[in-house]
Amino acid sequence: MPLTGVERYGHGGDRWTAGEMFGRGADAFVDFSANINPLGPPDSVVRVLQEALEDKGAPVLARYPDPRARSLKRALANRYGVPEECLMIGNGGAELIDLVNAAVRPSRVGATAPSFAEYEASARKRGQEIVYLPTGEKEGFQPEPEALSKWIRSVDLAYLGHPNNPTGLTVPYGQLLAAAEEAAVAGTVLVVDEAFLDFVSDGEARSLLSRLADFPTTLLLRSMTKFYALPGLRLGWGAAHPDWIRRIEELQIPWSVNGLAQIAGEAALSDGAFENVTRRWLAVERCFMMERLRELPGALLVPGEVNYFLLKLEAPPLGGTGASRRLQQALGERGILIRDCSTYPGLDDAYIRVAVRSREENVHLLQKLGEVLGKGEIF
Ligand SMILES: Cc1ncc(COP(=O)(O)O)c(C=O)c1O
């Protein structure tokens, strides 16, 4: 059934559709529906982009970009200690999710429910069977180990969000290892989507990146659009066995990663100060939001580890049929965008997701939430 809400094109962060629905300009929202670092993009990135554009003749625009993004790959290889031939660059993580599907050519695609919509979308458009692994509220939205192994064996390609979207939960390291081992034995391709891992302070220690050589059927994906706030520029990367990288790159449209994105990525990777400031902001603001959101009457917070939270609107005054859509509408009319999570498989209209933003914006959200709920106007 086609979607009709703000998420009709599949995702949060759609100010344009929200603007049409709530009678406001696209810029007239504080956006809590997309999980973008509010401190970014880094000044260092903006500076290199400005310099590149001001360079006489603007060669970055006037030349084709490096089709293999060699310089950016070198920077990633140095930063993460991964051989360049194990790296691929994408026009956002979303492109790589789709390219992996194109390269694997699976019959059965596995996604946990709930999880990021593009895993299913990449399968659906090719007429592949989708096999969901339900991870419900009862299990704390974590896959149960035995069910996880069985599910990996039952599909050709399996996606695991680490951290998962929309729950913000990571997969315990032991379980990740077990999943990668199971996938190797079963010949299943396992994609661990680490798009939000940068927001986890000890994220690198919890990634399989340094162990990839042991798991030839496991691929890791990262995004640079969230932590570095570059969703409009588009940039992601992935790591895998060189055979996978070759197959995937053969299927990639030439020059899909533009020249500005490539130089922005390099600048972002060398900006340690931005990373530190972001980690300090998130450590404080995450706790603040967690505490305050937990105080909402009837709301159950999933204790995500990153820059967004999944909330269940459980009991009156929040709960009830269509609560997520009504709350989104009431806040949208007040210039605040939240993610209605009823479109996620495995969730219903009791669930919303909000990003963590600056203190001022977070307080604004909490105030408006209080105002809407206090008036009981969503019922
Ligand atoms: C879990 C997850 N993976 C990948 C992506 C793709 O991100 P991008 O294409 O902006 O890099 C997203 C975007 O929301 C996401 O939530």
Domains, the chain, ordered by start: 15-31+273-375 (3.90.1150.10), 43-271 (3.40.640.10)
221 Cα distance to chain centroid = 10
Q: What is the mean pLDDT of residues 317-345?
A: 89
User: In a 3-state reduction of DSSP, which class is residue 343?
Assistant: helix
Closest CA to 227 of 179, 293, 276: 276
The H or E element spanning position 187 is none
pLDDT of res. 297: 78
More confident site: 321 or 180: 180
Percent of the chain at pLDDT exceeding 70: 97
| pLDDT class of 146 with cuts at 50, 70, 90 | very high
Q: What is the mean pLDDT of residues 120-135?
A: 97
Pairing verdict, β 336-337 and 339-340: unpaired
> How far apart, in Å, are the Cα atoms of 298 and each of 64, 80, 301, 302?
54, 43, 10, 13
pLDDT of res. 376: 58
Task: Compute how many other C-beta atoms are within 10 angstroms of the C-beta atom of residue 32.
Answer: 25
| pLDDT class of 299 with cuts at 50, 70, 90 | confident
Residue 373 CA, ligand 1 centroid: distance in Å: 31
pLDDT of res. 298: 73
Ligand 1 pocket check for 193: Cβ under 6 Å: yes
CA–CA separation, 161 vs 105, rounded Å? 20
Ligand 1 pocket check for 91: Cβ under 6 Å: no
User: In a 3-state reduction of DSSP, which class is residue 215?
Assistant: coil
Q: What is the mean pLDDT of residues 154-167?
A: 98
More confident site: 324 or 317: 324
Task: Compute how many other C-beta atoms are within 10 angstroms of the C-beta atom of residue 131.
Answer: 16
Ligand 1 pocket check for 12: Cβ under 6 Å: no
| pLDDT class of 58 with cuts at 50, 70, 90 | confident
* pLDDT tens digits for range 231-276: 999 999 999 999 999 999 999 999 999 999 999 999 999 999 999 9
pLDDT of res. 296: 85
Cβ proximity of 234 and 93 under 8 Å: no
Q: What is the mean pLDDT of residues 144-170?
A: 98
User: How many Cα atoms occupy the beta-carbon half-sphere of 122 within 13 Å?
Assistant: 25
Q: What is the CA radius of gyration of the chain?
A: 21
| pLDDT class of 379 with cuts at 50, 70, 90 | very low
Residue with tokens 């709930």: 114
Task: Compute how many other C-beta atoms are within 10 angstroms of the C-beta atom of residue 277.
Answer: 15
pLDDT of res. 322: 86
Please name the residue ranges forming H helices in 295-358. 323-332
Percent of the chain at pLDDT exceeding 90: 88
Ligand 1 pocket check for 167: Cβ under 6 Å: no
CA–CA separation, 41 vs 36, rounded Å? 10
CA–CA separation, 227 vs 274, rounded Å? 10
Checking if the pLDDT of 1 tops 80, the result is no
Ligand 1 pocket check for 92: Cβ under 6 Å: yes
Residue 194 CA, ligand 1 centroid: distance in Å: 9
| pLDDT class of 2 with cuts at 50, 70, 90 | low
Checking if the pLDDT of 378 tops 60, the result is no
Cβ proximity of 235 and 260 under 8 Å: no
Residue 93 CA, ligand 1 centroid: distance in Å: 5
Structure tokens at 167: 């729950």
Structure tokens at 193: 């989507």
| pLDDT class of 377 with cuts at 50, 70, 90 | low
